[in-house]
Amino acid sequence: MKILTAVQMQALDRRAIQDAHIPGLTLMEQAGAGLVASMEQVFGPLAGRHVTILCGKGNNGGDGLVVARLLKRKRVRPHVLLMAQPSTMTGDAKTMYRRFVKVAGTGSVHTYSADERCRSLVNTSQVLVDALLGTGLSAPVEGLYRSAIETINASGAPVVSADLPSGIHADTGSVMGVAVRATLTVTFAHPKLGLYLGAGIDHAGKIHIVDIGIPRSFEDGVDSMVSLLTLDECRRRLPSRPLSAHKGTFGHAGIIAGSVGKTGAAALAANAALRTGAGLVTVATPTSVNDILESKLLEAMTVPMPETKARTLARSGLDRLLSFAQARDAVALGPGLTTHPETVEVLQTLIPKLERPSVLDADALNALAGRTSVLADCKVLPILTPHPGEMARLEEDASPRSINADRIGTAARFAQRRRVLLILKGARTVVAHPDGRLAICPTGNPGMATAGSGDVLTGMIVGLLAQQLEPWTAACLGTYFHGLAGDLAAADRGPIGMTAGDIIEHIPYAFTQTAAPSGY
């Protein structure tokens, strides 16, 4: 599903109205109906509840007035707070105001002012609808709108935002002075970029996307390189499991990982690859820790490799490591390998010689710091999976903060410049292709901010690569289902105290889900 900027969405609306001759009132009606349906899905039956809808004077306010009218018909007690006098309203919003008054009367409409009466109305509401500001916001919020947003945030009531939380920039996710903290954001036609960036992530809450009737052919014509990963799309692209299959059908994944004190990283990656469906998994690890790793793995195999005195991979094992990688269908490198100088040298030599699909994570990425030019020699497009700290080490003059300030730009530029697939991990992980394609992952939660979560992702991706998925598909599916498994684990056990092992346990259930907890 394409993610759009404010300008792209506005152009799509205009085209639907002008070329497809869909009245703006019809689009507005569909938006309001979709928002009400999402409210009922999340909050249950609304009849008898006190709901206050705060409406701006533009089209966003018109959406809110549709919501108010439809709620009235459902025997809800709606109250509308207008940010302008009714006499000053124009266009479709004015029409929707008249339709609401015809159903509910003027007694349910109040003009907002920063007084105790309005605060009391908001504070006694069981649900609030934010229909104040839309995608056109370009300046800091001030005056009565700022007061209204602050009153909403102070109320403690669940908040549903129309299209995006008021005060959030539609393209950057930045807070424009002050912004609504929504429980649920119902965005119309297509997701907006700012919902998945910066502060927009925290302010949007759960996100639902509703169809408002824009022709599919018009949507397909929008030139957007950024997409949102969805459950339906990702499930369709999973490898099939034919009845005649055997373990060889689903490939042999190789993992080069582990060192003294860090065999857990190797074990997590191996178990994740198996849970993702790889038929066989073998881990290459330093000789002296091989027995320790074997005791942690029942289904995966291990191969001991020459080691340094520090019990890390040694230079003398380079040829054996290369042979190991070439004998597998896909290979992952990095978890728990350390940054021992000799091991770093091994990785810098090994990576450009690989002839199998590969995933580079953790210490494989650290080994590339200052040496990313070696990626130009890779024979097969590698997948890199850095978190912001690792990304900052790969990029010159960067810091984790600067990386997070421009996640999409950073991922896109690095993928194109170094000819790699890049998975920039974090809240709303970004997947970037060297041809300019970008995908944003909506799954995942703070409970996954725990040791070993990245090793699980590495194992899942190499498991999918071993099953002959092409790298872009494996990167997108691995990222989506890793986050979904984490969401299922959080729903099952709560996000506090989650471990990477909890994510692994929920991987099979993620693949069989028909509806994601996040709504995507």
Three-class DSSP category at 174: coil
User: What integer pLDDT is reported at residue 519 of this predicted model?
Assistant: 60
Q: What is the pTM of this model?
A: 0.95
Tell me the C-alpha distance between 498 and 331, whole Å. Answer: 27
pLDDT in tens, 420-456: 999 999 999 999 999 999 999 999 999 999 999 999 9
- What count of other Cβ atoms lies within 10 Å of the Cβ of residue 316? 13
CA distance 262 to 265: 6
Share of the chain above pLDDT 70, in %: 99
Compute CA distances 354 → 31, 206, 321, 326, 509, whole Å. 51, 41, 10, 7, 33
For tokens 């309001």, name the residue: 32
pLDDT band with cut points at 50, 70 and 90 for residue 216: very high
> Which part of the chain has CATH 3.40.1190.20?
234-238+249-511
* Mean pLDDT across the chain: 96
Residue 517 — very low, low, confident or very high, per pLDDT cuts 50/70/90?
low
Q: CATH code for 234-238+249-511?
A: 3.40.1190.20
Quote the pLDDT of residue 318: 98
Judged against a pLDDT cut of 80, whether residue 520 lies above it is answered with no
What is the CA 398 to chain-centroid distance, rounded? 23
pLDDT reported for residue 114: 81
Mean predicted confidence (pLDDT) in 498-506: 98
Average pLDDT over residues 218-233: 95
Q: What is the mean pLDDT of residues 84-89?
A: 91
- The tens digit of pLDDT for each residue in 370-385 reads 999 999 999 999 999 9
Confidence (pLDDT) at 518: 61
Asked if 126 and 149 count as a contact pair (C-beta separation under 8 A), the reply is: no
Which residue has 């091991």 as its token pair?
343
Amino acid occupying residue 216: R
The full length of the chain comes to: 520
**Contact predicate 344/369, CB 8 Å:** no
* Architecture of the structural domain at 6-224: 3-Layer(aba) Sandwich (3.40)
Q: How confident is the model at residue 396 (pLDDT cuts 50, 70, 90)?
A: confident
Give CA separation, 317 vs 256, 334, 342, 432, in Å. Answer: 12, 16, 11, 33
Secondary structure of residue 245 in the 3-state scheme: coil
CA distances to 279, 422, 496 from 159, rounded to whole Å, are 47, 35, 24
Tens digits of residue pLDDT in 119-175: 999 999 999 999 999 899 999 999 999 999 999 999 999 999 999 999 999 999 999
| CB of 162 closer than 8 Å to CB of 63 | yes
The arithmetic mean of pLDDT across residues 492-511, rounded, is: 97
First to last CA, the chain: 10
Task: Say if residues 47 and 75 touch (Cβ distance below 8 Å).
Answer: yes
- Residue 238's CB is within 10 A of a number of other CB atoms, namely 16
Section 98-126 average pLDDT: 93
pLDDT value of position 265: 98
pLDDT of residue 514: 79
Question: What's the pLDDT at 515?
Answer: 76
* pLDDT tens, position by position, 304-343: 999 999 999 999 999 999 999 999 999 999 999 999 999 9
Q: In the predicted model, what is the mean pLDDT of residues 51-62?
A: 96
**What pLDDT digit, counting tens, does each position of 462-475 carry?**
999 999 999 999 99
Which is higher by pLDDT, 310 or 396?
310
Q: Which DSSP string do the residues of 308-365 spell out, in sequence order?
A: -TTSSB-GGGHHHHHHHHHTSSEEEE-TT----HHHHHHHHHHGGG--S-EEE-THHH
